[in-house]
Chains A and B, each alone.
Chain A
């Protein structure tokens, strides 16, 4: 099979993270098998990292992903600090936590918007992204950048949060709470969304364990795991918050987990702003001793894992990186097979692998191997199914 050429639909979009190619095999309406091909965006970062000094690697790994761009440097500095047993100043821990949680908010809102688009709720798409915008503005205010914040540094953070910025950040978060309430109501109470997302793309708890899935994908299947609580880093053990777990394992559960996590993130940031002490933000690390270290953080999509080994020079001799989607995307094999084509787009998107992934879907007839649908057809099919559901429930189209 691997030598048969199948042309993916749409241009390659390296500006979006994690491009994958899914080859769906169908019999009539039903998905019977799926081939997942990744590697389109493989840039050899692990190898590159061995040729940069420890401080440069922080910026290199920030470029792995444009959406959760602080998760990789955060995990990396945790790994180096574990290796060298560095004590990070208290204020820096709080600042790191604030940045990481702001990132979770904008990332979850991004997913919510795309999920809305995939099932034909373009209003949800527009509203979610409208509320994501002020969060990005806050990033710009605090870090100077909307997306690659460059805040992490071995031993601390690179910039302080200024006192005059705090009221603006607080107000943005306060304004976000009613918006999240609105989304919660729109999703949980809407009979059409409920009918559309309940019971599809199910990953059971045992399957979640066997495939080692992470983050909201795992928590929606009843796995009570979250690195922030299990192996606390940053200031997560200094504030109180809840890990959101749902039992059903379907797309609806994954949506609910992400929406409810928004409340927790807002609360974590508010508490951090309250408790953040004054003082140093950098431990001024000079040399990294020989040894090995592991750092992992809970990125918006799940555990982001970094392993660093040093031989005492100024460069790592091995730097292993494992992003959460590496584990989550593989589990699509279970979640999508057995479902219908019209549910495929939202199922593949439910682990939050980003837009371009589903754009590269191609649907083949099992018997003839002929191409019958492309990614855009799939989204249209998905939206049509929602329209039919609306009609059957007596809603205006």
Chain B
């Protein structure tokens, strides 16, 4: 059974959308509330590695793409969540599941202002400690 089938079976109806861009590039959309469970299945049960996560500010909300990599066959599975509430964006932290997520989430927190619930050490990583609150360098001014 290929890793693609295993992921489809493991995630089941948590998958809202599935898009295969190239033979080794897969994009999956899920609900933000499912992220912890999905990460647990991908990272611990199926043995994928978290390469990084790209946060971005889009007109419809704050989007996070968690790029998981399956190194045995080289697929990159990008799990997409969209947090619609831009005023108070929140999502479960993956850092309690595995420490590699710690720095990745700290970076997204300071650059985009996404709060990671359950993160053990949510403080500035790249910006200075005195950085003004509520100012996030990667937020855009979208026309509404």
Contacts and interface: CB of A to CB of B under 8 A. Distances in A.
Interface string B116-130: 000000011111110
Interface stretch (A137-145, A161-169, A280-288, A303-311): A303-311
A91 interface: no
Given A230-B73, A296-B51, A330-B100, A42 B65 contact: no
Interface string A50-92: 0000000000000000000000000000000010010000000
Contacts of B123: 2
Interface stretch (B7-15, B18-26, B34-42, B81-89): B18-26
Contacts of A3: 129
B33 to A, nearest CB: 24
A39 B72 CA distance: 33
B74 A305 contact: no
A46 B98 contact: no
Contact of B100 (A46, A82, A225, A327): A327
B125 A303 contact: no
Interface string A210-235: 11100000000000110100111000
Contacts, number: 86
Interface-central residue, B21, B50, B100, B124, by most chain A CB under 10 Å:
B100
Contacts of B74: 227, 230-232
A318 interface: yes
Interface bracket on B: 35 or more
B56 A309 contact: yes
Contacts of B79: none
A292 B21 contact: yes
Nearest to B80: A292
Contact of A42 (B51, B54, B76, B127): B127
Contacts of A293: 21, 25
Contacts of A232: 74
Contacts of B92: none
A195 interface: no
B129 A46 contact: no
A296 B70 CA distance: 13
A303 B102 CA distance: 18
B78 interface: yes
B94 to A, nearest CB: 11
B60 interface: no
Nearest to A232: B74
Interface-central residue, A82, A318, A326, by most chain B CB under 10 Å:
A318
A327 to B, nearest CB: 6
B115 interface: no
Contacts of B71: 224-225, 230
B52 interface: yes
A326 B50 contact: no
B50 A294 contact: no
B46 to A, nearest CB: 13
Nearest to B102: A330
A130 interface: no
A231 B138 CA distance: 30
18 contacts: A38-B125, A39-B124, A39-B125, A44-B137, A47-B138, A210-B100, A225-B71, A230-B71, A230-B72, A230-B73, A231-B76, A232-B74, A296-B76, A305-B67, A317-B56, A320-B52, A326-B103, A330-B102
Given A2-B124, A292-B27, 17 more contacts: A3-B129, A209-B49, A210-B100, A211-B98, A211-B99, A212-B50, A225-B49, A225-B71, A231-B69, A291-B21, A296-B76, A305-B51, A305-B52, A317-B56, A318-B56, A320-B52, A330-B99
Interface of B: 21-22, 24-25, 27, 49-52, 54, 56, 65, 67, 69, 71-76, 78, 98-100, 102-103, 123-129, 137-138
Interface of A: 2-3, 38-39, 42, 44, 46-47, 82, 85, 209-212, 224-225, 227, 230-232, 291-294, 296, 303, 305, 307, 309, 317-318, 320, 322, 326-327, 330
